[in-house]
Amino acid sequence: MHIEQDILNKVNEWLTPTFDQQTQAEIEKMMTSAPKALEDSFYKNLEFGTGGMRGIMGVGTNRINKYTLGKNTQGLSDYLKKSFPNEELKVAIAFDCRHNSDTLAKVVADVFSANGIKVYLFSELRPTPELSFAVRYLKCHAGIVLTASHNPPEYNGYKVYWQDGGQLVPPQDGEIIQLIDSLQYSDIKFEANESLIEYVDTKIDEAFTTSTIENASFNTPKAAKDNLKIVFTSLHGTSIKLIPDVLTKAGYDNIEIVAEQAVPNGDFPTVKSPNPEEPEALTIALALAEKTNADIVVGTDPDSDRLGVAVRDLDGKMKLLNGNQTMVIMTAFLLEQWKRSGKINGKQFIGSTIVSTPMMLELASAYEVECKVGLTGFKWIAKFIKDFPNQEFIGGGEESFGFMVGDKVRDKDAVGATLLVCEIAAQAKASGSSLYQELLNLYTDLGFYKEYLISITKKGIEGANEIKQMMVDLRENPMKEINDQRVICIEDYQSSKGYDFMNEEEFDISIPKSNVLIYYLEDGSKICARPSGTEPKIKFYFSVNTPLDSIEKAITTEEKLDLKIKNIIASMQLN
C-alpha cells in the first residue's frame, strides 16, 4: 500500500528519540503488518469538536496517547501563562472509567505541574459535572476531564473547561489550537513537579452533593419520595460514585440499583453501547423495573453528563423518553416552580440548541421568559450564562439527553437532572398524575412535538470525504420540496446566512459559524444536517408537530407523526 509522503514524514518524526521505545516499536510493527491502520493513525491531527477532543487510543497524531494529550496540555499551559501572567495558576483534573483514563490524567497533571501550575487531581474516577463544579469551587483557571463520554471502549478523550466552569468556546479554543499546532513534541515538559499535584476527593464530593440537593430539590413531601420506586443504572460508569448518595441524602430511599452494571468497567460488558440514548442500553434496568414494579428508570452514560429516562405510560407500560421529552418536562417543571415563587420578572432565560425541539420556544413564550438558542453542545448554554450576567438561568438542555439545572454546574449534569426528574415524578404521582401524564398535558397545551435522529457512520479518510460531499450537495443543490411539502426556509450556519423562500429574502444568522444546515418545511417540520465534531458520523435531526386535541388521541397522533418522519426520511433517500 502506498502511503503519502506527508503522512510518512509524520511517521518518521515519531520514530525519533523524542518518543519512547514502546511507541516506536508499535509504529514499526504497524508499518509492516497494518499499513492501512498506520495511515489512519497519522493522516490528520485530532481536533477539538463540540465535546472537546475524542479519538481512538493508540500511537499517532490522530489518536489519543500521552504525546497528543501532552502537546495539548503544553499548549494550554502556555496559553494560561499568557492569559493570566501575574496569577498563581490552578487547574482541576478528573477522569472516568475508561481504559487508561487514570494514567492519562496523571500524564496531563505531570505536564501542568512541570510548567509550574498547581493541579487538583481527583484520586479516583468522578462524574464530569463534578469537574465543572470543582473548577469554580476551587477557583481554578481551567479544568480537564479525561473521558470519551458514551463512545465505544477503544475511545478516550480530553475536555477542557475554563474558569467559569464551562467548556472552551471561540475564540479561546482557536487561539489554544494555534499554540498547540506551533509546538514540537520535543517541547512537551513531562517531568512532574509532584509538590504541585494535590489529590482531592471527599471534600469536593460533599460540596457538590450539597449544592446539587439545594439546586434540584423542590419541597417534595417525604411521603411522596417514599412512594416513588426508582431503578437506577450507572452503565458501568462514574455516576455510581454520587447519584445513589445524592438521592438518599435528598430523601429517596426506594431505589433499586442494577447490580450487573454498578461496577465501573471500561469494557462496558453488558451493553453494546453505554449510551442512554440507545434503548438497548437500558434493557437490564427495564427488566428490573418490571420485576419491582418501579415507577421510573434512570440510566447515565460513563461520565455521567447525560441521562436516559423511562416511565410508565397511561397503560402502565414502561416507555422510554427521548432527550427532547425529558428536557421539556424538566424545563416546564422549573418554570412552574419559578412562577409559583413569584421570581419570574422578565430577567430569566432558558437554554436550548438549534437541533433540539422547537417546543422549548413555545414553553418560553408561555411563561414569558427568553429562550436562548445556541449551537450544539452545552458549552454554548454555559456561554450564555457568562455573557448575560444580569439575567438568571433557570435551566436548559439539548436533544442528546443532557440537561442543566441552574448555573452551579456549567455543563450537562446527569447528577442534578436525575434528582430533578425524581422530584417531578414523585410530585406527579402524589397528586394522582404521572410524569408521562404531565408530558401529555404539555402536548395538549403547546402542540405535540416529535423528534427523531439518524446517525450515519462513515469511518476513515473515505468516510470523512463522503460526509463532506453530502453537506456540499445539500448546500449547492438544495431540495425545494420534501415529503410533498415546500421548503420555505434554509439556514446555513457555515455561511451565517439564511434564505426565506416565501418572501424571497436573505437574512443574517448571528449564531457563531458551524457546519450545520437547517431546512424548514411549510407544515412546520424541521430537518437539520450536521457532521459530528467528535465521531465519524453525519447526523440528521427531524422535528414534526401537530395540535393535540385531547390526551385520548395521543397514541393515534403520535403514530401520525412517526409516519410523517418516516416519509420525510424516505423522500430524502436517507434510509
Active site amino acids: 149
Beta strand 255-257 with 505-508 is: unpaired
Helices and strands (H and E) in the chain: how many: 18, 23
Q: Compute the distance between CA of residue 260 and CA of residue 276 in angstroms, rounded to an integer.
A: 16
Give one DSSP letter per residue of 112-180, joined into a string.
HHHTT-EEEEESS---HHHHHHHHHHTT-SEEEEE--TTS-TTEEEEEEEETTSSBP-TTHHHHHHHHH
Kindly state the cell numbers that stand for 46.
485530532
> Residue 388, SS3?
coil
Q: Compute the distance between CA of residue 538 and CA of residue 425 in angstroms, rounded to an integer.
A: 35
CA distances from 379 to 307, 370, 376, 390, 413 (A): 18, 18, 8, 19, 12
Q: Compute the distance between CA of residue 500 and CA of residue 203 in angstroms, rounded to an integer.
A: 54
CA distances from 106 to 101, 452, 464 (A): 9, 40, 32
Q: Render the burial of 163-177: b for 16+ CB within 10 Å, e for the rest.
A: bbbbbbbeeebeebb
**Which residue, chain included where needed, has cell 460508569?**
237
Kindly state the cell numbers that stand for 78.
502556555
Identify the CA nearest to 528 among candidates 489, 476, 559, 477: 489
Q: Compute the distance between CA of residue 68 and CA of residue 54 in angstroms, rounded to an integer.
A: 11
Report the interhelical angle of 323-340 vs 435-446 (nearest 10°): 80
Contact 322, 309 (CB under 8 A): no
